[in-house]
Every structure is written in structure tokens, then in C-alpha cells.
Structure 1
Amino acid sequence: KFLAYAFPAYSEEEWQERLEEVRKDHPKARHHCYAWRLGLDGNQFRANDDGEPSGTAGRPILGQIDSFGLTNVVVVVVRYFGGTLLGTSGLIQAYRESTAAALAAGEIVERTVEEVFRLNFTYALMSPVMNAVKALELEMVHQDFGEQAALDIAVRQGERDRLLHELRARIAGKRVEELAPEDAVDGLQIEHLYTR
């Protein structure tokens, strides 16, 4: 008997917590095999066979995560041994199909990756900055109008270069074609803060 569980996970601590939850729920299971993939680019991953023959459990689970194009997910497949030996190909198929069923049954949530930038600017640029941010419908994350004006904005990662170029052009009072991407705008500095 194979039972598959899929959970969102954004850190190693989270996937470990999910694995422990499943182990507590199924203490008599023979195997708790799992795979996970984390990170915006999915470059952190692990697959574990938990005592099954090498490559028969963790890799098929990870393969299904990849075929669904997912990241920030952990899948744990619990196996209760029923006395029938499945062989290598049978195990691979069972773990693959269990994982596919769990992922297909779950709700896959797409999240937009955004980058947050700080605009440091002189007060003379206040009106052009605010007008440009409004025209481009950028989210204002934080404002600080102390000695120098600062505004944190969020932009979609996939549109970052285009939006920042257009933002700089609007603030400078130019058309996008008139401002090279490397051209500075007097009184304006843009710095990357973080990705969310």
C-alpha cells in the first residue's frame, strides 16, 4: 500500500517538519520515501529512498515533481509492505504513480516572484517619481521622506529590466528610446533590496 503526501515547503526546516509529521502519522510504515525541490530557480533538491533499493523511490518522486514543473514542494510517499515483492520496475512505477496522483489531486499555487528596489531621489524629482510609479502601476512597499526621499517598489521579476528602464525614462522626462539602459538619471539612484 502506497500513500503519497504533497506539501508546500520554502526551507529545509519546513520539508523536515512535513516529513516528521508523516512519520508520526504512519509509525508502522516500512518506508517513508521522499523528494523535495526548493528555491526560486529550483536548484536545491534531494531524493531519499529510505531503505528501498537505490533509485527506486526518491528519484521517481523527484521526477514527478519536475514533470509537474514545481518548486518549493516536498512529497513523502509512505509504503506499508503487503508481502508482495514488486521488483525494481514495479517499485519505480508505484512511487511514480503515487506521486503523480498526489500532485494531480492537490492545488498547485503559482506565485509571482517580485524584486523590491529602493528609489533614492532628490525632492525635486518627487512629482516625476510618483507619477511614473502610478503610471506603471508599481506597488509601493515603503516610503521614507526624511533628509532624502526614498521609495521602495516591487516589480515582477520577469518584467524587471523593462519596467526599470521605463521608470527611469519617465522620471527623466524622456521616451524609452531616448534613454539607454545604462544612462544615469540625475538625482536618482536605484538599488536592489531583496526578492520575494
Structure 2
Amino acid sequence: MDYQTVYQGAGAEIVEKKSRFISSVFPVSSEEEAMEYLEKIKKQYWDARHHCWAYVIRADRTLERLSDDGEPGGTAGKPILDVIKGAKLENVLIIVTRYFGGTLLGTGGLVRAYTSASREGLAHSTIITRIYGFKLKIQTDYTGLGKIQYILGQAGLHITDTAYTDSVELTVLVPEKEEKMVAAKITEGTNGKSIIRREGTCWFAEIDNEIKVWEQE
């Protein structure tokens, strides 16, 4: 269920034979949200000739949509979509706005320009891997703490909270696919003297060396 997406979108611009291609990248989670961003861009660049776009959205089945917005068929929307899919991104919208510079670029030139603009927009965006997993509460006595910290460290897992009383309780984010393995190692490493319980599901990602958590609705 893990997937790559844009955490923070960005804009970028390239110029090809005096035509300006301005890319705008947005994280989106629905078609309605994507269309709202498209309307904003159309208002922002109201005097541009074309607003070409594509998006990939996770749903019960993955949604893919694109538009050439008046450019020759297959020269704008498809190259934008190909960039998104080539980067293995989901829940992403890229809009490329074109100001015509007076020189026709031809189909090959248009494909290259829309591709380059899309890549440039992604290059300036923050891309993350959203991981589906669980919040685990791990309770142990003080003698088992070091072993558990070692196991979690070896697995690259993040301790989000630690409570010290007559025992120690750790809150840990664990990817779904690693939960059973981690629980088994902790149980074995502490000779069954730790208590592990699942506190809920969530999405999480590492952003600038910090962990961002999205609670599961």
C-alpha cells in the first residue's frame, strides 16, 4: 500500500523558441480537488493560450486523466502523464501553462517541452514515500529497554514517544509489512516479557529528517 507522492508542490518555467512553459505541481486526493487547482491556475494565468494537465489519483482503482487543451493530440497531456508515471507518483496533478511565443514547435518539440517542464516542476517539489502501518505501544521493564531499542534501531523504526514509570512504554511507527517480524523479534529478545499492542493505523513519511504522521480516518 506504500506509495510515492508529492508532499509540497512547486512551480517551474522553461522557455522553448520564445514559448513559455510554466509547470505547477500539486498533491491531490480527488478529481474535485484537481479541478479546483486547475481553475486557480487558469485564473492566475488568464491570458495564456493553453493549460495542459494530467493527474494520477489513488482510489478503489487508480484514476488517470489528461488534457491537451487545444495542443495537437498526444503532444501535451500524455507527456505530462508519462512523467508522473515514470516517477512512480500517485495523488499528483501537474499543470503546464503555455504562452505561445510565435514559433511553431512541431509535435516532437511540443512533447519535449511539456516533458521538460513537467520534470522541472517535480525537481523543485518535495517527493515523499507515504508508508501505511501501525502505531504500536511496547511496554517493557527497564532491563528489556536496551534490547528493544537495538531491535528497533536495526529495523530503522521510529520511536515517537517514550513514557517512564515503573516500566517503560514506547510508541513506535511500524510499516504494515514489518509488524509481525518486529513483534516476533521483540518477544524473543525480551524472553516474552514485553507487551505489544496495536493502537491504530496511520500513514507516515520521513520529511527533512522528521516524521510526519497522518491518522487513518
Shift of residue 186, structure 1, vs aligned partner: 10
Structure 2 unaligned residues grouped into runs of 5+: 1-18, 164-168, 205-217
Aligned counterpart in structure 1 of residue 115 of structure 2, from 80, 83, 96: 96
Contact 1:2 1:77 in 2 (8 A): no
2:48 corresponding residue in structure 1: 29
1:195 corresponding residue in structure 2: 203
The 1-side partners of 2:98 and 2:107 are apart by: 15
Residue identity (%): 30
Structure of larger gyration radius: 1
Shift of residue 44, structure 1, vs aligned partner: 4.1
Q: How does 1:1-196 map to 2 (within 5 A)?
A: 1-12=19-30, 13-39=32-58, 43-104=62-123, 106-111=124-129, 113-119=131-137, 126-127=140-141, 131=145, 134-135=149-150, 136-137=152-153, 138-140=158-160, 153-156=172-175, 159-170=178-189, 173=191, 190=198, 193-196=201-204
* Structure (1 or 2) with the greater strand fraction: 2
Shift of residue 35, structure 1, vs aligned partner: 1.5
Contact 1:142 1:153 in 2 (8 A): no
Q: 3-state DSSP class of the match of 1:53?
A: coil
C-alpha distance 61-90 of structure 1, shift in aligned 2 (>3 A): same
Indicate the larger mover: 91-100 or 8-17.
8-17
Deviations 1:97-129 (A, max 9, x none): 22223333x14433452512445x9xxx6538x
* Structure (1 or 2) with the greater helix fraction: 1
Aligned length: 175
The 2-side partners of 1:142 and 1:10 are apart by: 34
Shift of residue 48, structure 1, vs aligned partner: 2.0
> What TM-score comes out, normalization by structure 2 length?
0.59
In the alignment, residue 22 of structure 2 is paired with which amino acid?
A: A
Q: Flag as ranges the 4+ runs of structure 1 deviating above 6 A.
A: none
Shift of residue 156, structure 1, vs aligned partner: 4.1
Shift of residue 140, structure 1, vs aligned partner: 4.2
RMSD: 4.0
Structure 1 unaligned residues grouped into runs of 5+: 144-149, 175-184
